Chain A
Amino acid sequence: MEYFLQQLINGVTLGSIYGLIAIGYTMVYGIIGMINFAHGDVFMVGSFMALIVFLALLALGVTFVPLALLIVLILAMALTSLYGWTVERIAYRPLRGSFRLAPLISAIGMSIFLQNMVQVAQGARVKPLPPVITGGYQFGAAEGFVVNVSNVQIIIVVTTIALMVAFSLIVSRTPLGRAQRACEQDRKMAALLGVDVDRTISLTFVMGAALASVAGLMYLLYYGVIDFYIGFVAGVKAFTAAVLGGIGSLPGAMLGGLLIGLIETFWSAYFTVEYKDVAAFSILAIVLIFLPSGLLGRPEVEKV
């Protein structure tokens, strides 16, 4: 039983990270109908930004962990958002309104560029970070089993929940959110009504990048090691999560992320580690066969 609980906690933590990245995919898809293939690599850049800022702070003598983490969070979000914004401006905006394959290839090119740029700039070796947040809670010792919940895991889940709430509020209550939803429904009409479509789309990318950078920081803290390739793997999984949950739906992205994280964790724990990805992908295929728009997706009905 405690094994199950432990895996549950681990799975939720992993799922939260995937969910944060998946939201970026789903928001961009919702607003411009494109699969941002480079998003996973923006996540990777975010984790590198977090590492670099952290090391810089350490070098500057800032050692009080909560303060350092706060500064890392803010700076990493800002820097990664800049990357997200730039990627959109260079690779996607010139192709907007064009058909869907061109931005896809452009995105793949951008993904290759980012991965290799980081590899050349920072080196191909893995980058470890000594554990920053340690400790945790153990419970059940009295009852005879042991379940560990580390502080990192708590922080990850709490942060994710907070961000989810914040973003839901932004989307439903603020003018930006309204503008986003308007652009999702009918871009031309929104533009005619005075919505600054370019800015709305740029902000969507920025928001996605910011969330990805938080995920990057979480990943760094949780696993303690990053390299230039984590973007691809996490990206594909997060994209799978977004589709599983129903692409275009924010709660769907989070739900998909959690599911993928849980499937991966449980499969590795109870069956084999090697095939955990196969399990996740297979579940995706099966779900889509029965629910072609994903779990929470809105089925698109084409008017005949």
Chain B
Amino acid sequence: MSDPHAGAAAPSVFGVAFKDAAFAALVALGLAAPMLGLVTVQTQSGIELEQHWGKVAIAVAIVFAGRLLLNLTLWRPGRKKSLSYVPPKVEAKLARFAKYLAPLAILGAVVMPMLPFTERYAIDLGILVLTYVMLGWGLNIVVGLAGLLDLGYVAFYAVGAYSYALLAQYFGLSFWVCLPLAGILAAFWGVILGFPVLRLRGDYLAIVTLAFGEIIRIVLLNWYWFTGGPNGISGIPRPSFFGLDFDRGDDGFAATFGLDYSPLHRIVFLYYLILALALLTNFVTIRLRRLPIGRAWEALREDEIACRSLGINTVNTKLTAFALGAMFAGFAGSFFATRQGFISPESFVFMESALILAIVVLGGMGSQFGVAVAAVVMIGGFELFREFSDYRMITFGLVMVLIMIWRPRGLVSTRSPSVFLKEKKAISGSLVQEGHG
């Protein structure tokens, strides 16, 4: 029997691709024409529209060409239309290197300031990145290990910073005394805020933590006589090298060690300080993962009801995760305060919480290494594109979307067990729960 359709031509790949790209271009036209093409400008006589059809044409053209290209290459029918596309061979090779990457990275971080070609800018960038790495590791305990969705993490960062600033200002305590105090205060707030809300289901917990973050920011902004309001607190004492100030004096750091004074000394000291704090966070987290509390966090994330049936007090377990995460944010906050010498509520907006959460999710699966890489990529990348200030944020948002589409489970999408009998096998991310709060 002859196939009645034998004579009809199969739809050409190019034809399908073209139609799809044309549709995309049409959508782009609808989006761009009003937004890019008609720009509102204020003139002397009021507000008017300026026409910029050139921009619209460019946008539509880019969309059309890009979509056509993608349709003809990555998204050819027949090829798996998947964007999470890393060849398994590459992934396996990376996994084998991963063992060495972490110690190498730590070594690199330790050695970096001492390299001859490192300039101040690089060390400053390093300090910024390491601060976010530490914040990422702290939030990782809450979100990555215990599976609690916290959208207000910046609140604890703020508590740490303001605690240090106020303690130093009112009581004249040194950094080394204020640091643990700030951590304890932040942990304390973690318990206070956590206690009423940790019974809430995941998404409700998210909005309440977001609300708390905003409440703390607004209070800091308006409680003028205590927190300085929008002016913040300035003149925060800089750290000293165990009592030796980093100044030009005869009893300063430089003089004591027989070096010429250089402002770089303090910067390098700050760098090693944040590195030490971050590594402390990492060390504690790794230890805790192997202790019953860490296992309870992960079990909580997997199945809360099963945890309760095994005698685990889930409320206390959640509170511990929350408080510990808060404590590390508190430490990071104190560091931030002393590094800047000045803090204001502007540094503690919701976008920071979102950014830190993005770092944790991008890192993947409660993985310490992944979170660090994500922080380096996002913060480092963000800083390096400083020149393109206008388009920097636009690209940043778009990159966030693209990375999530590419690797929804994050960069490190496997979980490594905390204990093993014979062999430590990496567990695929698809088997691991993300927690329901």
Contacts and interface: CB of A to CB of B under 8 A. Distances in A.
Q: Do any CB atoms of chain A lie under 8 A from CB atoms of chain B in the complex?
A: yes
Contact of B204 (A48, A101, A108, A288): A288
Contact of B214 (A121, A274, A277): A277
A102 B305 contact: no
Interface stretch (B179-187, B234-242, B354-362): B354-362
Contacts of A53: 34
Contacts of A71: none
B27 A86 contact: yes
A104 B410 CA distance: 13
A113 interface: yes
A167 interface: no
B49 A56 contact: yes
Contacts of A101: 143, 149, 361, 434
A134 to B, nearest CB: 16
B332 to A, nearest CB: 21
- Considering residues B30, B39, B211, B361, which has the most beta carbons from chain A within 10 angstroms of its beta carbon? B211
Given A55-B49, A106-B401, A284-B211, A121 B36 contact: yes
Nearest to B207: A243
B197 A289 contact: yes
B375 to A, nearest CB: 14
A55 B305 CA distance: 58
Contacts of B401: 90-91, 106, 109-110, 113
A109 B358 contact: yes
B408 to A, nearest CB: 4
Q: What DSSP secondary structure best describes chain A's contact surface?
A: helix
Contacts of B13: none
Interface in B399-422: 399-401, 404-405, 408-409
Nearest to B405: A94
A292 B35 contact: no
Interface stretch (B254-262, B271-279, B289-297, B390-398): B390-398
Given A52-B49, A55-B40, A123-B41, A86 B31 contact: yes
B196 A102 contact: no
Nearest to B35: A121
For this complex, into which size category does the number of interface residues on chain A fall?
Answer: 35 or more
B394 A117 contact: yes
Contact of A110 (B27, B36, B218, B397): B397
A112 B361 contact: no
B120 interface: no
Interface in B184-225: 196-197, 199-204, 206-208, 210-212, 214-215, 218-219, 221-222
Nearest to A94: B405
B38 interface: yes
B118 interface: no
A277 B217 CA distance: 11
A29 B206 CA distance: 13
A302 B36 CA distance: 48
Interface size class of B (residues with CB under 8 A): 35 or more
B34 A52 contact: yes
Interface in B313-368: 350-351, 354, 357-358, 361-362
A110 B199 CA distance: 30
A275 B31 contact: no
B42 interface: yes
Contacts of A215: none
Interface in A76-120: 79, 82-83, 86, 90-91, 94-95, 98-106, 108-118, 120
Contact of B38 (A52, A91, A113): A52
- Residue from the set B221, B396, B400, B404 with the largest chain A CB neighbour count within 10 Å: B404
Contact of B40 (A51, A109, A294): A51
Interface string A43-62: 00100110111011001000
Given A105-B357, A109-B401, A130 B207 contact: no
B155 to A, nearest CB: 12
A120 B214 contact: no
A173 B97 CA distance: 59
Contact of B350 (A35, A98, A100, A236): A236
Given A99-B409, A113-B401, 5 more contacts: A108-B400, A120-B394, A121-B39, A243-B207, A289-B196
29 contacts: A35-B206, A35-B207, A48-B35, A52-B40, A55-B40, A59-B48, A91-B401, A94-B83, A99-B409, A100-B202, A101-B149, A102-B361, A102-B409, A109-B358, A114-B397, A115-B397, A121-B35, A123-B41, A125-B42, A127-B42, A236-B210, A236-B350, A274-B218, A277-B215, A278-B215, A281-B211, A284-B208, A292-B199, A304-B305
Interface of B: 27, 30-31, 34-36, 38-42, 46-49, 83, 143, 149, 196-197, 199-204, 206-208, 210-212, 214-215, 218-219, 221-222, 305, 350-351, 354, 357-358, 361-362, 390-391, 393-394, 396-401, 404-405, 408-409, 434
